[in-house]
């Protein structure tokens, strides 16, 4: 059966909300997974269409077609991709920085920021950055940690001045804002892609359904913010600010930001050089 990948984080609610509610029909099997799992399933040809990390597309662009006008991006703070540190970031040379196992794009962006903006060389260590109980984050020995997704929102809330974990992480950096300050461009964390080998008609139908669902989601962010608050324990107000701060298009400014990210990754030797290839217009 034709299959479509979905990240279970609340940042995907605006794209899948109408599909989940039966308002928009998607004739496909939905497969949930964290970004790295969906990346792997796509690379193995086990999904036809999926949201994937921007880095996954860059690393194997010859396999995929990008679905137009659909992405998860920000033009400034993202709030769900955060570096939380016990010390000033520029004092992290040789220090232990835990990074997420579940998002290649966030880790790649963090590495670029350390090398080019902060001029610091920490020791990167894979950690469990998706722990549901943020109070247990202190258990692993570290000086800073990258946290993504819903866990990042909970920790962001807890590390505000007066929050329960502000003393543990007095320093935090929003990677979306750091990229904006560095380049002046939006940052694209994820794109939707299709296998080049998948049949065209169901891919086009899936793309149309995802865009229609996205359009419904953007018109009903209040409903989705309430759902997100129930799922995460974060306040509805904060969920509303978070979801409304994301952009789900892939406009020329977003493509410029994505191209600059890829250019920097190529220069760093992390991905091969290549060109964008889009799903042809129906």
Q: What CA–CA distance (Å, rounded) separates 18 from 208?
A: 13
**Is 109 domain-assigned?**
yes
CATH of the domain at 145: 3.40.190.10
**Is 275 domain-assigned?**
no
Q: Where is average pLDDT lowest: 154-158, 207-211, 262-266?
A: 154-158
* Predicted confidence (pLDDT) per residue in 66-122, tens digit: 999 999 999 999 999 999 999 999 999 999 999 977 778 999 999 999 999 999 999
Question: Model confidence at 236, in pLDDT bands (50, 70, 90)?
Answer: very high
Containing domain of residue 214, as a range?
3-73+186-267
Is the pLDDT score of 229 beyond 90? yes
Pair (61, 100) in one structural domain: no
Pair (179, 85) in one structural domain: yes
**Is 43 domain-assigned?**
yes
pTM: 0.92
CA 158 to each of CA 97, 131, 151, 163, 166: distance values in angstroms, whole numbers, following the listed order: 20, 14, 11, 5, 7
* Predicted confidence (pLDDT) per residue in 178-206, tens digit: 999 999 999 999 999 999 999 999 999 99
pLDDT at 282: 45
Residues 130-159, mean pLDDT to the nearest whole number: 80
Pair (20, 154) in one structural domain: no
Please state the φ and ψ torsions of residue 18, each to the nearest 5 degrees: -70, -30
Q: Please count the other Cβ atoms lying within 10 Å of the Cβ belonging to residue 103.
A: 29
* Predicted confidence (pLDDT) per residue in 43-52, tens digit: 999 999 999 9
**Is 276 domain-assigned?**
no
């Amino acid at each position: 059966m034709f299959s479509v990948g979905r990240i279970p984080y609340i940042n995907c609610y605006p794209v899948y909300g109408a599909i989940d509610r039966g308002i928009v029909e998607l004739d496909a099997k939905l497969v949930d997974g964290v970004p790295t799992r969906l990346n792997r399933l796509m690379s193995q040809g086990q999904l036809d269409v999926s949201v994937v990390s921007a880095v996954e597309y860059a690393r194997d662009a010859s396999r995929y077609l990008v679905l137009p006008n659909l992405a998860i991006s920000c033009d400034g703070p993202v709030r769900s991709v955060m570096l939380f540190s016990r010390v000033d970031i520029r004092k992290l040379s040789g220090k232990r920085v835990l990074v997420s196992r579940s998002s290649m794009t966030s880790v790649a962006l963090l590495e670029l920021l350390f090398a080019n903006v902060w001029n610091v060389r920490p020791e990167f260590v894979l950690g469990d950055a998706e722990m549901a109980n943020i109070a247990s984050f202190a258990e692993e020995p570290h000086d800073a940690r990258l946290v993504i997704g819903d866990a990042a929102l909970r920790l962001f809330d807890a590390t505000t001045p007066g929050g329960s974990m502000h003393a543990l992480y007095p320093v935090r950096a929003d990677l979306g804002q750091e990229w904006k300050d560095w380049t002046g461009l939006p940052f694209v964390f994820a794109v939707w892609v299709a296998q080049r080998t998948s049949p065209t008609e169901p891919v086009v139908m899936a793309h149309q359904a995802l865009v229609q669902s996205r359009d419904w989601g953007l018109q009903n962010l209040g409903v989705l913010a309430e759902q997100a608050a129930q799922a995460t324990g974060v306040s509805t107000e904060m969920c509303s600010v978070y979801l409304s701060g994301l952009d789900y298009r892939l406009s020329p400014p977003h493509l410029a930001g994505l191209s600059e990210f890829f250019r920097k990754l190529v220069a760093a030797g992390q991905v091969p050089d290549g060109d964008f290839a889009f799903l042809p217009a129906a």
